[in-house]
Homo-oligomer: A and B are copies of this chain.
Amino acid sequence: MSKRVPTAGKRIRDIGEFKLIDIVTAVVAGTQPGRLSLGIGDDAAVWRPSPGRHIVMSTDTMIEEEHFRLEWGDWKSLGHKALAVNLSDLAAMGARPRLALVSLGLTGAERDREVADLYKGMVTLGSEFKTAVVGGDTTTSESAVMISVTVLGEAPGGPDSVMKRSAARAGDLVAVTGPLGLAAGGLEVLDQELRTLDGGPAMEEAFLRPKPRVREGRILARSGVRCAIDLSDGLLGDLPKICQQSDLSAEIDELRIPVPLSIKWAFEDWFDVALRGGEDYELLFTAPPSAFQRINRNFRRAGLRLPTVIGRMVSRGEQEPGVKLRTPSGHLEQLEAGAFAHWG
């Protein structure tokens, strides 16, 4: 395990709350959106949403030693990821992200520039998607650094304007927006110090700085897709949620699952890494076969990688909703739901 590199700068516990807020305010200044009446520095932020839009909101927390280790990466990456996993939730709904609130728990041993870097990481990713950090809260958390982010986005009105887990239909194809397993590979790379591994840096990048598929989500929703989820818990953690909530089963085709060669070369259990590893933050969606011409055309026009079809939704018959795997020999086998390790 590599040691944490000591950083210059003042410790947070020595500079006090006012100075800490000054640091945060300095980093987010200039990124505040026009429709914001009041940002950081008051009890609450005030924002005027676009007329007629629905507000789409989500919250997600990262805790030291559960979701990250400080020695793994720089604080900018940490800020990037804390926001990215939240933007990914909005992407799964097809919403346009607008604002983020950040609740930060610090031990006090952190340096001022580490905290500035954390916010820089958020602000940099946020500006890519026109999402501003508009407020939040800092508190003492002696046992572990904690970053809780809440994001607000907008979606057009109307009951079908967002993609839902419960909206899959029998006969829909199941597709993903990108490769599976890179992030889980990246965790291994960091944990075992395998950076020289073929494809190692790309895996590390996928784990530390996941790309929220916001554009993909909005295009899917505009292309008429009604059902999506983001892959935070892996295909076998998240596809069962669609099955459960849509009261259907899914059949996925082993040969169609997009697993990078680097993952197959690096890990003997690459299939589990790809299906259960989680944290890829690609979108998983279902749509009728007839929709894919439109989806692919819209993705191509936007310069985005085309989705990969990996299977289809089927009636669950007399069985509980679940995921089955079609092996290369054509055999169908039941897959156990679940991601690695976490209970939540």
Q: Contacting chain B: which of A142-150, A176-184, A260-268, A297-305?
A: A142-150
User: Known interface pairs A41-B245, A47-B57, A105-B146. Does A343 touch B63 (Cβ–Cβ under 8 Å)?
Assistant: no
Interface residues of A in 11-38 (CB under 8 A from B): 12-13, 16-18, 20, 37-38
Beta-carbon contact of A43 and B140 below 8 Å: no
Interface residues of A in 94-128 (CB under 8 A from B): 95, 99, 101-103, 105-106, 108
Q: In the complex, A41 Cα to B245 Cα: how many Å?
A: 9
B residues less than 8 Å from A108 (CB atoms): 343
Which residue of chain B lies nearest to A338 when distances are taken between CB atoms in the complex? B16
Q: Closest CB-CB distance, A265 to chain B, in whole Å? A: 31
Beta-carbon contact of B37 and A139 below 8 Å: no
B residues less than 8 Å from A60 (CB atoms): 103, 137, 139
Q: In the complex, A63 Cα to B141 Cα: how many Å?
A: 7
B residues less than 8 Å from A255 (CB atoms): none
Q: In the complex, A63 Cα to B144 Cα: how many Å?
A: 10
Chain A 33-68 interface 0/1 with B at a Cβ cutoff of 8 Å (1 = within):
000011001111111110110111111110101110
Q: Closest CB-CB distance, A134 to chain B, in whole Å? A: 8
From B13, B61, B65, A146 is in contact (CB under 8 Å) with B61
From B43, B45, B103, B150, A92 is in contact (CB under 8 Å) with B43
Report if A90 contacts B (CB, 8 A).
yes
B residues less than 8 Å from A136 (CB atoms): 59
Known contacts A43-B92, A44-B90, A57-B135; 19 additional CB pairs below 8 A are: A38-B162, A43-B93, A43-B165, A43-B229, A44-B56, A44-B58, A47-B55, A48-B54, A55-B152, A58-B135, A58-B137, A59-B103, A61-B148, A65-B143, A66-B105, A140-B343, A140-B344, A146-B148, A148-B148
18 contacts between A and B (CB under 8 A): A37-B159, A43-B92, A44-B90, A44-B153, A46-B55, A47-B54, A47-B55, A49-B49, A49-B55, A59-B101, A60-B137, A60-B139, A63-B139, A66-B140, A66-B141, A103-B150, A139-B344, A143-B144
A residues sitting closer than 8 Å to B (CB atoms) are: 12-13, 16-18, 20, 37-38, 41-49, 51-52, 54-61, 63, 65-67, 89-90, 92-93, 95, 99, 101-103, 105-106, 108, 134-144, 146, 148, 150, 152-153, 155, 157, 159, 162, 164-166, 229-230, 244-245, 342-344
